[in-house]
Amino acid sequence: MGSIQSRCVVVSLAGLMAGSMLFAAEDQVAAASGEVTEDAALKHARELIAHGQFEEARKAFEEMVHADQQARGAQDAKTLSDRVELALACGKAGDYIKAESDLRDLLAIYNRRLGPDHKETLRCRTALARLLYDASRPTEAGEEYRRVLDSEVRVLGTDNIEVARTRHGLGDALGMTGKYGEAIEQFRQAQDVFDRVLGEENFETLLNRSNLALVQAENREFDAAEKGLKAILTIRERLNGPNDLSVLMTCFQLGRVLGGAKRFDEAMTFANRAEAGLRSALKPDDSKVIEAEGLCNQIRTDMAPAAKVPPPVVLK
């Protein structure tokens, strides 16, 4: 079946849906200044990222940063904050070189002005870690996430939602490098906090649980992965209905995990449901439709040898 985590379209979908979540807990703009226009602009730019309109988001952030510099100056806190988000938008648009260069410049400024443990410094380092992960450089991403985690645990303690979010990012990076046992431990520690602080139905809680299940499947812990994904499916069906995109993508995950466990009939049931639903909801050339079709074909191919094995020859 191939790599369940690295090849699964749901992982990329989750990254797309969470693309604007990195700073959602720390939106300072309107709270600090009451400037509704700027707040609306920031929200609009983040929504563009969430919907995969990365070039448009990049242009929106560029306009915001230019306005910041004109009104506030290049070293103002909001200017620097918006530059971090602009760099992330550049990365989402595929310009990893510029995005990394800008984030490292910003990180140097934050380190010098605020120190390595300040929340804005850690926010910038987290952005750098996410960029490196998106650029398929998981080892470097993991190193950055560990630096953030060490600082956050020292300052905030272990029972904190920001620490849980960092553990989630570190788990992603470890999973991509094949360190499944370590990744599972990070996801599990994060899950305890997400469940308690945000509740089991929260988007971030479900996302962490989903990625935990995918890494468990990579580690050949198929029963645990199946149990986790079916629990997620139940919650999402109850909240969103049977044809919601998140439900169909969870079906896709279950199809891939059960296929990896060689439970082909069950895998095909979930894969067919995912393909039919996605084909109905999206355009035929959408990458998620193509991935779902490919999964169905792969399961059929994997089923064939088992069905066609000839009986053993008995020598007389």
**pLDDT tens-place string over residues 276-307:** 999 999 999 999 999 999 999 999 999 987 55
Exposed, middle or buried by CB within 10 Å (0-12, 13-18, 19+), for 34? exposed
Residues 163 and 156 sit within 8 Å (Cβ to Cβ): yes
Percent of the chain scoring above 90 in pLDDT? 81
The average pLDDT across 194-216 equals: 97
pLDDT of residue 263: 97
Place of tokens 């002005």: 113
Q: For 207, what's the count of Cα atoms within 13 Å in the CB-facing half-sphere? A: 21
Cα distance between residue 251 and residue 257, in whole Å = 10
Cα distance between residue 30 and residue 27, in whole Å = 8
End-to-end Cα separation, the chain, in angstroms: 39
Q: Please, where are the H alpha helices in the chain?
A: 4-7, 9-17, 29-33, 36-50, 54-71, 77-92, 96-114, 119-134, 138-156, 161-176, 180-197, 203-218, 222-240, 245-260, 264-281, 287-308
pLDDT of residue 304: 84
**pLDDT tens-place string over residues 158-197:** 999 999 999 999 999 999 999 999 999 999 999 999 999 9
Residue 177: closest CA among 3, 10, 2: 3
Two tokens at 102?
A: 């800008």
pLDDT-based confidence at residue 21 (cuts at 50, 70, 90): very low
pTM for the whole thing?
A: 0.83
Cα distance between residue 106 and residue 100, in whole Å = 10
Residues 28 and 82 sit within 8 Å (Cβ to Cβ): no
